[in-house]
Amino acid sequence: MKAAPALDVERIRKDFPILQEQVNGHPLVYLDSAATSQKPISVIRAISDYYLHANANVHRGVHALGERATEIFEQARRDVARFVSAEERGVIFVRNTTEGLNLVAQAYARPRFGPQDRIVATIMEHHSNLVPWQQVREQTGCQLEFIGITDEGRLDWEDVERLLRAPTRLLAVTHVSNVLGTINPIQELVRLAHSEGITVCVDGAQAVPHMPVSISDLGADFYAFSGHKMLGPTGVGVLWGRPELLEEMPPFLTGGSMISVVQLDHTTWDEVPHKFEAGTPDIAGAAGLSAAISYLEGLGMDAVRRHEEELADYAIEVLSEVRGLTQYGPRGSDRAGVLSFNLDGVHPHDVGTILDREGVAVRAGHHCCQPLMGRLQVAATARASFGVYNQPQSVAVLASALGLVSKIFA
C-alpha cells in the first residue's frame, strides 16, 4: 500500500499567489527556493497588517502604536526561539545569514585570534561563510584552512579529524550545502570540536526552512539563517549565539537602541540580545517572519522534510534519464532538496535561459561557491531546488524542458 503524501501540495499551492503567474506563456514552475522562497498570503498580510495597524518604532515609544510594534517584534523573537529550540536571549535579528556570520567574524573572532590560531571552514561553504573568515585572517594574521570533500560530495573525514585540533579555534560549517544538497553531521562535528575546545559557527540558511532544527540538540555556539529562504520576507534574518559568548563580545554596530547610557566620554551597552541590534530594525520583516514560522509549523517540519526528500529522490531518478546530464551531490538520506547538474556541451546560463522560456525557474552560475566549483572541475552548474509548493509534476516539466535544451544544442 502506497504511503500518503507528506503534504497536500495542491492545497498549499493555493496559499501562494505568485504561483498563478504565467511566464512566457507557461504556468510558472518555480525551482529556485534555495535562492529565495515564495511567500504565502499569510506572510504578505502580516507585513501589510503591521503597516496598517501598528506602524511605529520599537522599544522607545510609550504610545499605543509603539507598544503594538514592540509586542510584534518581541513575539517574533519568541517564535524564532521556539521554532529552532534555542534560548530566546540568544536570538539576534539581523538582515540575513551573511550579516549574522559577519557579526561572528568581527565581534567574536577578530578580537580573540592571532597568528598562533587557526580557523577551519569547508570547501563547500557559501561565500557568506568563507569571505568573512578571509577578512579575519587578513586582520589578525590567523591561519585559515579547509576541510575537503569526497567525490560523492560529503566531508572528507580524514580532514575533519586532522584539522579539528590545536591550533584550531573556530569551525565554520554549513548545515546543508546550497550546491550539493549535502546535510552535514553537525551534531558529530560539534562533539568533536568541543572536545578540543573549538567554537562552532553554523550556516543554517539551507537547513531551517526544510527540516526540523533544534539548536539546543546540535550544540552549536553560533547558528545563522535567513527569513527569505523560509517563506518569510527579505531583509530579516537571525543569528543565534550562546548567550555567555554574546555577553563577552563587543557590539558589531553601534548607535541608537543598543545602548544603556551615553555620555560624552563613554557609552555602556544594552543587555543581550539588544546590544547587537543597532538602529531601527525591520519590524515588518519580523512580523512576516513570525507568520512564516506559523505557516511552517502548521505543515509540520517532519512532513516538510519527508516531502522534499521524496521529491529530491524522484528528481534524481527522473533526471538520470536525461541524456548527457551530470548530477552532483550524494545519494541517500543525508541529501536535501537541492539538485545541481550540467548538460554536456551546454553552458548552465543557456540551460537556465531556455528553461525560463518554458516557464521553469532554476538558478544558473557558481551559486556563491566558486571554490566548490573548482573542486567539481566546472565553471558553473544549473540548480533546481525544491520547496513545500513543488510537486512531482514540477520535476516532470523540468525534465521535459531539459529535453528541449538537448534538442536545441544537438
Considering 142, 201, 368, 369, which one is annotated as catalytic? 368
Query: Does the structure show a pLDDT above 80 at 61?
Result: no
**Which long-range CB contacts under 8 A does 42-48 form with residues at least 24 apart?**
42/15, 42/291, 42/294, 42/295, 43/231, 43/232, 43/233, 43/288, 43/291, 43/292, 43/295, 44/17, 44/288, 45/291, 46/287, 46/288, 46/290, 46/291, 47/233, 47/284, 47/285, 47/287, 47/288, 47/291
* Nearest residue to 131 via CA among 118, 140, 116, 121: 121
Task: Indicate if 314 and 209 belong to the same structural domain.
Answer: no
Q: Does 380 lie in the same domain as 271?
A: no
Q: Are residues 134 and 219 in the same domain?
A: yes
H helix runs in 154-300, sequence order: 157-163, 186-195, 215-218, 243-248, 283-299
- Average pLDDT estimate for 209-225: 98
Q: In Å, what is the CA distance from 233 to each residue of 17, 160, 176, 237?
A: 15, 36, 21, 9
Domain that holds residue 395: 9-30+301-408
pLDDT band at 402 (very low <50, low <70, confident <90, very high): very high
Looking at the structure, tell me whether residues 83 and 221 fall in a common domain. yes
Do residues 93 and 83 make contact, with C-beta atoms less than 8 angstroms apart? no
Count of domains observed in the chain: 2
| Residue at 122 is within a domain | yes
State the average pLDDT over residues 122-128: 98
Q: Which of 229, 217, 397, 407 is nearest to 323 (CA)?
A: 407
- Of 297, 324, 352, the one marking the end of a domain is 297
Give the per-residue pLDDT at 3: 66
Inform me whether the pLDDT recorded for 248 exceeds 70: yes
Residue among 228, 184, 234, 176 at smallest CA distance from 206: 176
Provide the β-strand partners of residue 262: 267
Structural domain contains residue 35: no
Residues 267 and 153 in one domain: yes
Q: Decide if 201 is catalytic.
A: no
Do 156 and 246 lie in a common domain? yes
Q: Which amino acid is at 81?
A: A
Instruction: Please give the Cα distance from 289 to 230 (Å, whole number).
Output: 8
Could you tell me the pLDDT band of residue 332, with boundaries at 50, 70 and 90? confident
* 290 & 317 share domain: no
Say yes or no to pLDDT of 2 above 70.
no
Handedness of CA 310, 331, 353, 235 (dihedral sign): positive
pLDDT at 1: 44
Average the pLDDT over 307-325 and give the result: 95
CA distance 207 to 182: 10
**Nearest Cα residue to 236 out of 294, 275, 292, 274:** 292
Whole-angstrom Cα distance, residue 367 to residue 329? 14
What value does the mean pLDDT of the chain take? 96
2 lies in some domain: no
Pairwise CA distance, residues 116 & 27, whole Å: 57
127 and 271 both lie in a single domain: yes
pLDDT of 207 strictly over 60: yes
CA distances from 220 to 32, 131, 310 (A): 28, 20, 28
Which residue among 267, 297, 327 closes a domain?
297
